[in-house]
């Protein structure tokens, strides 16, 4: 399997703290990679490096479809087709639904003039086809602060889908969701695989990760403690090994 | 419903008709309009002789633009979640640029351009201190307020400069002349500035980023919005417009006072906050600030018409700022 994304020797320090240390990581085309790790393991930092929000320390290399990227920015990552559903959803509460869908990537005419009608129309379509907002109580003008956790997650995921991602990164996507909403979220990840795209699925909940991932990578204290194909281990064995990682920092192979 | 649906509306059973949606969407604007009408009715009832005369409205159109021209762009900075308290000093600083260049060249127009460039530079300085150095805007702009007014005093030696030479110039007529022999040109400039800034705030990518930056700066950054650039541009616009307002005021009285701008802090801020712009950022309208500016202008006239001394104006403006911001804080706390 060829890689859509490859990270080599990635380090990231904030002052004295090494958030990520000597990480080598790859995602294959049409592969769902589950990323597991405790709080402070470096998962979110790694995501922010992949999306161009943070730049790795000198020496680290990032490859996209085999091509080395010299300077990855958020805008460049978007252009290449890397989309993220952040754990904090990355929504602007006081703004309308359509402004949130097109946040940072507004549809414009010449000179940066907003194509407001176009964005409202696209949002209206997405409400029907992807978000499932059928109630007249929610319109394209509704502010996101009035939405439930599931609705907010729907907006964040729909936004990632709309821009036709090659690689979707889901950072704690099931956090705060009800059971039925979680099921829909996991179905969505399965849909990414069926569509021939790749995904990184990050979660604390090993049951959720195990359910959808092809390969599981375990991050601990900023380093990759180990990785394995999902079909190599049962859920019980995975649980035992994660417990071992938490104690020793090493994953039994 | 497709399989991809992962969310359902919380309030599916709650319907909202078009009237309710309209009221929700334009709540800020309708609220400030209602306040404006109530204040006007109170003044008409309290001082019918003054407020039923056309002269008072010509007076509003003459003096309100002096601070509305700053309050309208200041709305952008406040929506980004920042504040600029230096605009009064920037008025004088811009005019210092005019004075220097006019003395060197004898050209009103070059002096006018220099005034705007000095204002723009002052705004850029504020933006750089806040964004690049990371100083909170409240502290940074109090600092530049003193810095710029100090610079003006050093350069002018505290002495004012007469501008009677430009009384019959085209520039004077264009900025502070009378349209149709009645309506002050500065009122039209205020309308134009309000329309242009409204357009950029509501119909341009820059305005979208202004709202996103103030609403949730982390999310905006994560989604690729250049929040630093957005803030710097907003500060630059305030600086530019403060210099423009300074020129308009000076042209109207045909004199440049180095202390120009010191009396505009309260009424400008009161216009922004009374107009519904959130002190926490992310929310505000140009329409609200525009209407609120004229309410503030009317209150000033109303205080005089009611027979109160001018000392009451500071008290009432202060009260308006405290009340507006307190109401916003209570609403914000309830929403979160």
Q: Tens digit of pLDDT for each residue in B166-177?
A: 888 999 999 999
Tell me which residue in B8, B202, B219 faces A150 most closely, judged by beta carbons: B8
Instruction: Point out the residue among B5, B21, B206 whose CB comes nearest to the CB of A132.
Output: B5
Higher pLDDT, B72 or A144: B72
Q: In chain A, which among 125-164 make CB contacts under 8 A with chain B?
A: 129-139, 141, 145-148, 150-155, 157, 161
* Higher local confidence (pLDDT), B245 or A75: B245
Domain holding B86, by residue range, is 55-335
The pLDDT of B63-72, averaged and rounded, is: 97
Residue B7 has pLDDT above 60, yes or no: no
Contacts of A188 in chain B (CB under 8 A): 4, 6
Domain regions of chain A by residue span: 3-94+163-248
Residue B305 has what pLDDT?
75
Based on DSSP, count helices (H) and strands (E) in chain A, helices before strands.
Answer: 8, 10
Lowest-pLDDT range of A156-165, B1-10, B47-56, B70-79:
B1-10
Specify if B330 maps to a domain: yes
Least confident range from A58-72, B4-18, B178-192: namely B4-18
- Confirm or reject contact between A30 and chain B (CB < 8 A): no
Q: Is residue B27 part of a domain?
A: no
Asked whether residue B223 is domain-assigned, the answer is yes
Distance (Å) from the C-alpha of residue A164 to the closest C-alpha of chain B? 15
H/E stretch holding A1: none
Number of domains in chain B: 1
- The ipTM, to two decimals, is 0.82
| Alpha carbons B130 and A151: distance in angstroms, whole number | 35
* Chain mean pLDDT for chain A: 88
Determine the 3-state secondary structure of B7 from DSSP.
Answer: coil
pLDDT at A100 over 70: yes
Q: In this structure, what token pair is assigned to residue A135?
A: 């109630």
When scoring A91, A118, A135, A148 by the number of chain B Cβ atoms within 10 A, the one with the most, hence best to mutate, is: A135
Residue-by-residue DSSP string for A42-95: SHHHHHHHHTTSSPPPTT-EEEETTEEESS--HHHHHHHTEEEE-TTTT--TTS
CB contacts of B223 in chain A (<8 Å) are 74, 90, 103-105
pLDDT at residue B213 in the model: 97
Closest CA to B158 of B110, B87, B99: B99
Q: To the nearest whole percent, how much of chain B has pLDDT over 90?
A: 67
A112-126 burial, b if ≥16 CB within 10 A, otherwise e?
eebebeebbebbeeb
Specify the DSSP element, H or E, that contains A112: none
Is the pLDDT at A157 greater than 90? The verdict is no
Average pLDDT over residues B53-62: 90
SS3 content of chain B, % helix, strand, coil (to 5): 75, 5, 25
Residue A239 above 80 pLDDT?
yes
Strand partners, A14: A17
Higher pLDDT, A136 or A118: A118
The more confidently predicted of residues B230 and A87 is: B230
Q: What is the pLDDT of residue B189?
A: 98
Q: How much is the average pLDDT of A149-166?
A: 83
Amino acid A186: pLDDT: 85
CA A124 centroid distance within chain: 24
Task: Give the mean pLDDT of A233-242.
Answer: 86
pLDDT at B12: 37
Which residues, in sequence order, are bridge partners of residue A5?
A27, A64
Which of A47, A73, A93, A94 to mutate against chain B (most B CBs within 10 Å)? A94
Whole-number mean pLDDT of chain B? 89
Residue B308 has pLDDT above 80, yes or no: no
Secondary structure of residue A215 in the 3-state scheme: strand
Cβ–Cβ below 8 Å for B8 and A151:
yes
Provide the pLDDT confidence category of residue A117 given band limits of 50, 70 and 90: very high
| B153: confidence class by pLDDT, cuts 50, 70, 90 | very high
Q: What is the mean pLDDT of residues B119-141?
A: 98
Query: How far apart (Å, rounded) are the C-alpha atoms in residues B333 and B336?
Result: 5
- pLDDT score of B335: 58
**Nearest chain A residue (CA) to B226:** A104
| Residues ≥6 apart with Cβ < 8 Å to B12 | A134, A135, A137
Residues in chain B: 336
* Long-range pairs of A190-193 with CB within 8 A, sequence gap ≥ 24: A191/B3, A191/B4, A192/A32, A192/A168, A193/A30, A193/A32
In the predicted model, what is the mean pLDDT of residues A223-244? Answer: 86
DSSP state of B204: B
CATH number of the CATH domain containing B308: 1.10.3470
CA distance A64 to chain B (A): 19
| B66 occurs within a structural domain | yes
Residue B332 banded pLDDT, cuts 50, 70, 90 = low
Asked whether the beta carbons of residue B211 and residue A147 sit closer than 8 angstroms, the reply is no
In a domain, B138, yes or no: yes
Look at residue B16 in the predicted model and tell me its pLDDT.
Answer: 58
- B38 within domain boundaries: no
**pLDDT, position A86:** 80
Beta strands in chain B (DSSP E): 161-162, 178-179, 183-184, 255-256
- Helix B265-274 to helix B87-105 angle (10° resolution) is 130
Whole-number Å distance between alpha carbons of A160 and A143: 19
Is 2.40.420.20 the CATH number for A3-94+163-248?
Answer: no
Please enumerate residues of B whose Cβ is less than 8 A from a Cβ of A: 1-16, 21, 25, 202-209, 211-212, 215-216, 218-225, 278, 282-283, 335
Average pLDDT over residues B101-106: 94
Cβ-based contacts of A73 with chain B (< 8 Å): 224
Residues 6+ apart with CB under 8 A from A64: A4, A5, A80
Q: Name the residue among B95, B72, B62, B83 with its Cα closest to residue B260.
A: B95
pLDDT digits (tens, 9 = 90+) for A1-54: 689 999 999 999 998 889 999 999 999 999 999 999 888 889 989 999 999 999
Please state the rounded mean pLDDT for residues B312-322.
85
3-state helix, strand, coil in chain A (%, to 5): 40, 25, 35
């Amino acid at each position: 399997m060829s890689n859509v994304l490859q990270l080599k020797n990635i380090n990231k320090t904030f002052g004295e703290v090494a958030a990520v240390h000597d990480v080598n990581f790859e995602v294959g085309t049409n592969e769902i990679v589950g990323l597991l790790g405790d709080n402070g393991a470096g998962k979110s930092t790694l995501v922010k490096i992949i999306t161009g929000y943070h730049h790795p320390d000198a020496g680290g290399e990032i490859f996209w479809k085999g091509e080395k990227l010299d300077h990855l920015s958020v805008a460049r990552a978007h252009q290449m087709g890397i989309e993220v559903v952040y754990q904090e959803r990355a929504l602007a509460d006081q703004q309308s639904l359509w402004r949130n869908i097109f946040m940072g990537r507004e549809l414009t005419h010449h000179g940066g003039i907003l194509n407001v009608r176009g964005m409202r129309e696209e949002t209206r379509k997405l409400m029907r086809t992807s978000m499932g907002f059928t109630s007249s109580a929610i319109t394209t003008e509704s502010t996101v602060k009035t939405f439930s956790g599931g609705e907010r997650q729907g907006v964040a995921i729909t936004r990632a889908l709309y821009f036709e991602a090659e690689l979707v990164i889901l950072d704690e996507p099931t956090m705060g969701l009800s059971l039925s909403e979680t099921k829909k979220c996991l179905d969505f990840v399965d849909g990414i695989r069926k569509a021939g795209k790749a995904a990184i699925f990050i979660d604390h909940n090993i049951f959720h990760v195990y359910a959808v991932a092809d390969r599981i990578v375990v991050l601990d204290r900023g380093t990759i403690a180990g990785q394995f194909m999902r079909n190599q281990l049962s859920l019980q064995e995975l649980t035992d090994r994660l417990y071992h990682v938490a104690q020793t920092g090493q994953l039994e192979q | 419903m497709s399989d991809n649906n992962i969310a359902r509306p919380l309030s599916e059973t709650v319907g909202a008709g078009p009237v309710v949606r309209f009221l929700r969407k334009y709540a800020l604007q309708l609220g400030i309009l209602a306040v404006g009408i109530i204040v006007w009715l109170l003044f008409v009832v309290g001082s019918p002789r003054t407020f039923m005369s056309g002269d008072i409205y010509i007076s509003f159109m003459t003096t309100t633009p002096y601070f509305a021209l700053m309050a309208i762009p200041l709305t952008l900075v406040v929506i980004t979640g920042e504040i600029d308290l230096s605009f009064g000093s920037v008025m004088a600083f811009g005019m210092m640029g005019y004075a220097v260049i006019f003395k060197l060249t004898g050209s009103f127009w070059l002096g006018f351009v220099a005034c705007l460039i000095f204002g723009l530079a002052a705004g850029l300085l504020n933006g750089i201190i806040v964004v690049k150095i990371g100083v909170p805007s409240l502290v940074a702009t109090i600092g530049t307020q003193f810095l710029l007014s100090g610079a003006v005093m050093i350069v002018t030696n505290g002495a004012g400069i007469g501008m009677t030479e430009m009384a019959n110039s085209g520039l004077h007529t264009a900025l502070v002349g009378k349209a149709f022999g009645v309506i002050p040109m500065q009122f039209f400039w205020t309308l134009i500035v309000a329309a242009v800034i409204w357009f950029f705030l509501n119909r341009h990518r820059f305005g979208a980023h202004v709202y996103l930056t103030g609403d949730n700066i982390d999310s905006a950054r994560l989604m690729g919005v250049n929040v630093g650039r957005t803030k710097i541009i907003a500060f630059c616009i305030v600086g530019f417009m403060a210099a423009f307002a300074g020129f308009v005021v000076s042209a109207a009285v045909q004199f440049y006072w180095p202390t120009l701008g010191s009396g505009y802090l309260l009424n400008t801020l009161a216009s922004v906050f009374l107009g519904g712009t959130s002190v926490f950022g992310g929310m505000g309208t140009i329409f609200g600030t525009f209407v609120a500016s004229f309410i503030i202008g009317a209150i000033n006239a109303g205080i005089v018409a009611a027979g109160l001394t001018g000392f009451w104006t500071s008290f009432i403006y202060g009260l308006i700022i405290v009340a507006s911001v307190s109401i916003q804080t209570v609403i914000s706390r309830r929403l979160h």
